[in-house]
Amino acid sequence: DDPLRTWVRFKEIYLDECMRLEGRGTRRRLVTCPGCNLAKPPCIRCQECFGGTLFCVDCMVERHKCLPLHIVEQWNGSFFQTVSLRQLGVRVQLGHPVGEGCPFQKAGPRDFIIIHLNGFHNVRLDFCNCPGQAPAFVQVLRAGWWPATPLEPQTCATMAVLRLFQIVNLQGKVSAFDFYRALEKATDGWALTKLPDRLAPWVRMIREFRHIKMTMRAGRGLELEPTGIRGTSPGELATVCRACPLPGVNLPDDTSCMRKTELYIYRLIIAHDANFRLANRMRSTEQADPSLCPGGAYFVATQPYAAFLKAYTHDKEISNCVAFAALMLANMKRAKGIASSGVGGVSCGRHELFRPNGLGDLQKGERYANMDYIFMSSIAGSGVQELLDIPPAKVAFVVPAFHIEAHESKCRNRYSSRRKKGMGRSDLEGVERLWSWIRGAASSTREMGPGHHRDTLDDFCSYANWLKILGMGGLFLRHMVEAIPEAIGHRQAFEEFEEGLRKDRPGEVEKWEEMVARWDADPEEPNPYMSTESGNATMADVRLQLAEEARIREQEGRAAMHDSTPSAFIMLALDVELVQHTVAAEVKTTGPNPTPLQKAGMQDRRTAILKKIRRVRELQGVYMPRLYTHLHPDGEGYDERRSVNAEDVRLHLPSSLTAVIHAEVAHPDVVDIESRLRFAEMSDALDELR
């Protein structure tokens, strides 16, 4: 089945029918209007109404009294030309049912612009001025239009176009500017008429629409909430995670009935991180552009946040892990012309939803004061006690699985999520995945004022959370279907492994279990996951030692036999070996039928290996001069000159030769250096396994 090839056979018919729609078709023979059956020339049709039937002017006006935002076209003798319903005499009466006039009508503005799905419309309308009638902007709202201002509105947008923009903005990250320009093109693609500039009111209406819809979803408009928007509590407008422990929602009332072995189910797991792509330029001020509901959704309230940070302006940031440089680099970034350098965020660690009051602007990098305030705000009112009042045994700090690789060994062993009971396969990198989804909005939010920036990101966070909630049922089912057989298999393998260990080393197994239990209860106890072996030099240590020895020999006048030292020769050969193993593994993974692109990439890597091997052979002639006299006379030492793949070429280092041969052909320093580097390489590999 090839739908496109099938369509190609009919494309001429498609063309003919599309051309037919541009003209009058069979309706060109009509002499009477099908609407009133009078001898009036049917010369007008509507693009929006089904069928595209031609009517006379009077019938078209009558049919569109309740459809004032349709686009109509009039036949001018040669082609259809767009005309506005306003030109044909359509007037809109607000405040009364359609077709009913108002005895106290009040004419609206001369140019009342309505932004709709199909473009811009200049509509002639009348307001109701009957006694007790609602004000003009309320009449506009009741018509399904959003006024740009409650004071004598002259511009509005339909609820339909605002809903469409919100969807394409949240899902496709289309900016308000691009959407507005698209509506301009839909109105007049030839730019033959001067359209009114309503970009600023358009942006303002979008922001107001987002805010009201968020309060509606939170139930602030119900009779149960008589205080309305004014009574909104901090974080109340956020969409909360229904899978995280919520007192009074999904937790048992009597906590004493919980079994200790299942307490991890009710543990609140939180992850936080910063995103520097969501920086905000200094386009306005807090006074000129405040948030519409400070602290009501995901961002923390601005004033108490700023007041807290003032007390820690000059605090020095401290990192006890020398391998963790992200903090220092972020704090050193330029901040000229930037109102906020990024956004700090907190999400639930398992289900990856933004926490209420879990976002905050960062002024200069990922400072502790900012992140601590945001973190504490995200757990306030969630049923979790104040962090400082919780015993240390009740709080476990871990580093996400990807980030922990940048830390020192002592940090990796102590703060790895894999070492905590009940964590399962949670990697706690959910914040990063949320950032990757939301960063598409960075290009537009960067140029907004501070309040607009926060209100827009609040809406994006709500949408992200809502999508997560919609997918929870299927996601949890897939995870369970995968986890059950995996748990059974791993349990069986572990029990078999444990049984063997208990037979061979029963005393040590009990000792290990006691160490793990003590460390789980108190992380200050000796860490059972850290290797107790000490004194083994790493590859980095040995390379430093060799470099120091070469410097001493040079100072003493004992220069090397070549510009490249023996240690440089062996390290080059080991690097070549590593690349050979990598390429051989890739060849095996690719299979017998690689694509041309894969072949080209493989040949490039093989060529690079051969160039390095030639350099190894050159140095072997210096430091292993009698090597080739001990090889097979058919040229075994010259594999690279024969039809042998680069990854299969043997380097013939001292460790690959017998003790008798390498004692005769290799310089003693070369044998010692390779031995030290090999041992360090083995130690690094064992540490990696541990």
b or e along 376-385 (b: 16 or more beta carbons within 10 Å of the residue's beta carbon)? bbbbeebebe
Supply the pLDDT for residue 560.
63
The confidence score (pLDDT) of residue 393 equals 55
- Phi, then psi, of 71 in degrees rounded to 5: -105, 125
> Looking at the structure, do residues 211 and 269 belong to the same domain, yes or no?
no
Q: Do the domain assignments include residue 549? A: yes
Same domain, 65 and 135: no
Could you give the number of structural domains in the chain? Answer: 4
Identify the burial level of 681 via C-beta atoms within 10 angstroms of its C-beta, where 0-12 means exposed, 13-18 middle and 19 or more buried.
Answer: middle
DSSP 3-state of 62: helix
- Whether 286 and 426 map to the same domain: the answer is yes
**pLDDT, position 234:** 92
Q: Quick one: 211 and 294 in the same domain?
A: no
- Do 143 and 44 have their domain in common? no
Q: What is the pLDDT of residue 622?
A: 83
What's the confidence (pLDDT) of residue 466? 95
Whether residues 418 and 280 share a domain: the answer is yes
Element holding 660 (H helix, E strand): helix 659-665
Asked if residue 516 belongs to a domain, the reply is no
Distance (Å, whole) CA 140 – CA 152: 11
**Bridge partners, residue 275, by sequence:** 343
Residue with tokens 């996951």: 529
pTM of the predicted model as reported, rounded to 2 decimal places: 0.77
Question: What are the phi and psi torsion angles at 496 (to 5°)?
Answer: -65, -40
Report yes or no on 521 lying in a domain. no
Q: What is the pLDDT of residue 490?
A: 93
> How far are the Cα atoms of 146, 149, 175, 205, 457 from residue 162, in angstroms, in the given order?
9, 15, 13, 8, 17
Q: What is the pLDDT of residue 387?
A: 42
Instruction: Give residue 428's Cα distance to chain centre.
Output: 14
Last residue of a domain, one of 54, 88, 122: 88
CA distance 541 to 447: 49
Dist CA 542 CA 567 (whole Å): 10
Could you tell me if residue 249 is inside a domain?
no
In this structure, is residue 526 part of a structural domain? no
Q: Tell me which residue of 645, 651, 648, 654 sits closest to 673, measured CA to CA.
A: 654
480 domain-assigned: no
Q: Over the chain (690 residues), what is each successive 10-residue block's mean pLDDT? A: 90 93 83 89 91 91 92 92 92 90 91 95 94 93 95 95 96 95 93 90 96 93 83 92 86 76 82 92 90 94 92 72 54 70 92 94 87 90 49 73 80 82 84 91 92 96 95 92 93 92 87 88 82 70 86 75 80 90 88 86 90 88 78 53 77 82 78 88 79
257-301, pLDDT tens digit by residue? 777 777 778 888 899 999 999 999 998 888 999 999 999 999 999
**pLDDT of 325:** 52
The residue range of the domain holding 43 is 3-88
Residues 286 and 407 placed together within one structural domain of the fold: yes
Task: Kindly state whether residue 529 falls inside one of the protein's structural domains.
Answer: no
pLDDT for the residue 254: 76
Residues 414 and 287 in one domain: yes
The confidence score (pLDDT) of residue 338 equals 87
pLDDT score at 190: 87
pLDDT for the residue numbered 299: 95
Q: Where a domain ends, among 423, 457, 472?
A: 472
Determine the pLDDT at residue 330: 54
Q: For 455-509, give the DSSP string.
A: HHHHHHHHHHHHHHHHHHHHHHHHHHHHHHHHHHHHHHHHHHHHHHHHHH-HHHH
